[in-house]
């Protein structure tokens, strides 16, 4: 049986942030989520999270989100490290949870780019005559990372921190990534022998390599070609480099699936975003969260989508859409703002400087200029004139505006909610409507009052 231990108790001081390092956003998800996601692909029998006690709630939210996405229960055990006394101390605290297990995979919570395939390779390198496997990588400039020191047989005999390395050892380019596979039986014996006789007075996992060698056990390495990206995120620069790699991979996948991205270097698309084939993403567009874009759309330029659903054959340009649904064959923009809870139905058009919030816009309805539509239920084939405002807030409560099918709302109309405009009703330009308008009625003025419509003349229009 195989268990996983995630070391997630570090302070992340180099991030210089009040937010714990592992919860920083990496292309739409917290750093720790990638690690847990990759481990979940391994189908481990148990995953143990070693965390600070005051962060349990945050970690549980991440796990719940992962379980929701995968539609399965993931067995996570939480172990608390009250004081950050080093990686060795963190692993030692997890040992009681390893009873009955043969093998344990130990990883850092800040290494999101070590994929499940790399972890599988690390586990596959483990064999009966080996006590531990160290995941390593090669760096042209190893800098301050721990060097992997081997004997003439190629076995790992120790890991030396750069500051403690000799001149000869500093020339070694193979470095430790912080991921390991251990025999649980040998680990139990070795971990009791680690000490904190160092400048930081902390217990380090790397010391286990020397201890296992003194016990006559064999330690080997398994190399990944990730380079410095395998070494975890310790600073804002590391976060930016990881984002750049994941973003490049995301854009390449979308293009392979039939999406045109006009300027990849000027496009940001988060990891969980879905885009249909033959859609074109114009430059300076940002697609975030759980956004779904259908086929044959044009998105952008300069468009921001957050948790948005966009149907097929839509055109969204120079606009912002958040937490809303746009059906197929809809045109939005330029400079429209579609806010939370909005549903725009097919063949509608929302034009320049129109803001829509928590409203439903019916099919074939148009609001093309300079309007605010909040808390509104608008039917089909409605014309919203320029400057229309649903006055939905009385200072204490939001109220609903209902506009039925085929109504015509004249320019600069103010609709004081709660209010209902009946089917086929008309409001004259500049009207301030304080009362419900009956179907087929025309109202004008301040406050608006009904007037009689003149019969439609042949070849002309009714008044």
Question: What mean pLDDT comes out for the span 432-459?
Answer: 88
Is pLDDT at 116 greater than 80 in this prediction? yes
Residue range 132-185, pLDDT digits in tens = 999 999 999 888 889 999 999 999 999 998 888 888 988 999 999 999 999 999
* pLDDT the model gives residue 161: 84
* pLDDT the model gives residue 458: 56
| 343 is known as an active-site residue | no
| Together in a domain, 14 and 155 | yes
Quote the tokens at residue 265: 């270097």
Residue range 91-112, pLDDT digits in tens = 999 999 999 999 999 999 999 9
Q: Provide the domain count of the chain.
A: 2
* Percent of the chain at pLDDT exceeding 90: 84
Residue range 335-344, pLDDT digits in tens = 999 999 999 9
* pLDDT the model gives residue 23: 95
Question: Does residue 353 form part of some domain?
Answer: yes
| Together in a domain, 226 and 293 | no
Quote the tokens at residue 129: 């005559």
Question: What mean pLDDT comes out for the span 76-87?
Answer: 91
Strands 260-261 and 315-316: unpaired
Strands 383-384 and 408-409: parallel
* pLDDT the model gives residue 352: 97
Enumerate the β-bridge partners of residue 178: none
pLDDT band at 461 (very low <50, low <70, confident <90, very high): very low
Question: Does residue 236 form part of some domain?
Answer: no
Is pLDDT at 462 greater than 70 in this prediction? no
Question: Does residue 238 form part of some domain?
Answer: no
Residue range 358-370, pLDDT digits in tens = 999 999 999 999 9
Report the C-alpha gap between 437 and 321 in whole angstroms: 31
Question: What mean pLDDT comes out for the span 23-36?
Answer: 96
Nearest 5°: the CA angle 249, 253, 259 is 130
| Together in a domain, 109 and 182 | yes
Quote the domain boundaries for residue 187: 2-231
* pLDDT the model gives residue 456: 60
Question: Does residue 278 form part of some domain?
Answer: yes
* pLDDT the model gives residue 459: 53
For 273, residues 6+ apart whose C-beta sits below 8 A from its C-beta are 28, 250, 287, 288, 289, 290, 291, 292, 293
| Together in a domain, 46 and 123 | yes
Residue position matching structure tokens 């816009």: 361
Last residue of a domain, one of 188, 209, 231: 231
CB count in 10 Å sphere of residue 233:
28
Q: Tell me, what CATH number does 392's domain have? A: 2.160.10.10
Whether the upstream peptide bond of residue 311 has omega within 30° of 0, thus cis, is no
Among the listed residues 445, 44, 244, the one whose alpha carbon sits nearest the alpha carbon of residue 35 = 44
Task: State the average pLDDT for the chain.
Answer: 94
Q: What is the DSSP string of 368-415?
A: EES-EEESEEE-TT-EE-TT-EEE-B-SS-B--EEE-TT-EE-TT-EE
Alpha carbon distances (Å) from 446 to 370, 412, 415, 434: 20, 12, 11, 9
| Together in a domain, 170 and 263 | no
Quote the tokens at residue 161: 């921190």
Last residue of a domain, one of 180, 206, 231: 231
Alpha carbon distances (Å) from 153 to 142, 216, 222: 23, 14, 15
Question: What mean pLDDT comes out for the span 275-292?
Answer: 98
Question: Does residue 113 form part of some domain?
Answer: yes
pLDDT band at 78 (very low <50, low <70, confident <90, very high): very high
Enumerate the β-bridge partners of residue 79: 50
Axis crossing angle, helix 87-94 with helix 184-191, rounded to the nearest 10: 120
Task: Name the active-site residue from 24, 343, 347, 369.
Answer: 369
Last residue of a domain, one of 199, 231, 263: 231
Question: What mean pLDDT comes out for the span 265-274?
Answer: 98
* pLDDT the model gives residue 463: 41
| Together in a domain, 227 and 248 | no
| Together in a domain, 128 and 155 | yes
| Together in a domain, 301 and 345 | yes
| Together in a domain, 253 and 188 | no
Q: Tell me, what CATH number does 17's domain have? A: 3.90.550.10
Residue range 368-406, pLDDT digits in tens = 999 999 999 999 999 999 999 999 999 999 999 999 999
pLDDT band at 460 (very low <50, low <70, confident <90, very high): very low
């Amino acid at each position: 049986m195989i268990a996983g231990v995630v070391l997630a108790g570090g302070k992340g001081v180099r991030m210089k942030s009040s937010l714990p390092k592992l919860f920083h956003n990496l292309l739409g998800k917290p750093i720790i989520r990638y690690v847990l996601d990759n481990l979940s692909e391994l189908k481990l029998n148990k995953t143990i999270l070693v965390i600070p006690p005051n962060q349990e709630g945050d970690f549980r939210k991440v796990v719940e989100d992962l379980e929701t996405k995968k539609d399965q229960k993931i067995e996570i055990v939480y172990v608390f490290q009250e004081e950050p006394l080093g990686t060795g101390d963190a692993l030692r605290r997890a040992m009681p949870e390893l009873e009955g297990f043969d093998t344990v995979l130990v990883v850092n919570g800040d290494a999101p780019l070590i994929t499940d395939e790399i972890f599988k390779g690390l586990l596959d390198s483990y064999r009966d005559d080996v006590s531990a496997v160290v995941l390593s990588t090669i760096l042209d400039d190893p800098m301050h990372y721990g060097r992997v020191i081997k004997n003439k047989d190629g076995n790992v005999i120790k890991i030396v921190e750069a500051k403690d390395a000799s001149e000869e050892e500093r020339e070694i380019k193979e470095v430790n990534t912080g991921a390991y596979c251990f025999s649980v039986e040998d680990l139990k014996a070795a971990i009791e022998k680690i000490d904190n006789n160092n400048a930081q007075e902390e217990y380090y996992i790397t010391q286990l390599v020397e201890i296992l060698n003194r016990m006559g056990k064999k330690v080997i390495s398994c190399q990944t070609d990730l380079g410095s990206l395998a070494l975890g995120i310790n600073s804002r620069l590391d976060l930016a480099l990881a984002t750049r790699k994941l973003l490049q991979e995301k854009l390449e996948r979308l293009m392979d699936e039939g999406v045109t991205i006009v300027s990849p270097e000027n496009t940001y698309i988060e990891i969980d975003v879905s885009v249909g084939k033959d859609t074109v993403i114009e430059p300076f567009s940002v697609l975030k969260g759980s956004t779904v874009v259908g086929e044959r759309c044009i998105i952008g330029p300069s468009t921001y989508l957050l948790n948005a659903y966009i149907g097929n054959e839509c055109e969204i340009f120079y606009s912002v859409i958040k937490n809303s649904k746009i059906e197929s064959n809809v045109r939005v923009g330029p400079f429209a703002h579609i806010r939370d809870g909005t549903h725009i139905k097919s063949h509608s058009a929302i034009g320049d400087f129109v803001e829509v919030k928590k409203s439903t816009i019916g099919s074939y309805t148009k609001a093309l200029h300079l309007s605010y539509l909040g808390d509104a239920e608008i039917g089909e084939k409605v014309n919203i004139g320029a400057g229309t405002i649903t006055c939905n807030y009385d200072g204490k409560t939001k109220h609903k505006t209902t506009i039925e099918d085929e109504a015509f709302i004249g320019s600069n109309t103010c609709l004081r909610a709660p209010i209902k405009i009946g089917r086929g009703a008309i409001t004259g330009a500049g009207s301030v409507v304080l009362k419900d308008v009956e179907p087929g009625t025309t109202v004008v003025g301040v406050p608006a009052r009904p007037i009689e419509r003149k019969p439609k003349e042949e070849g002309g229009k009714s008044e």
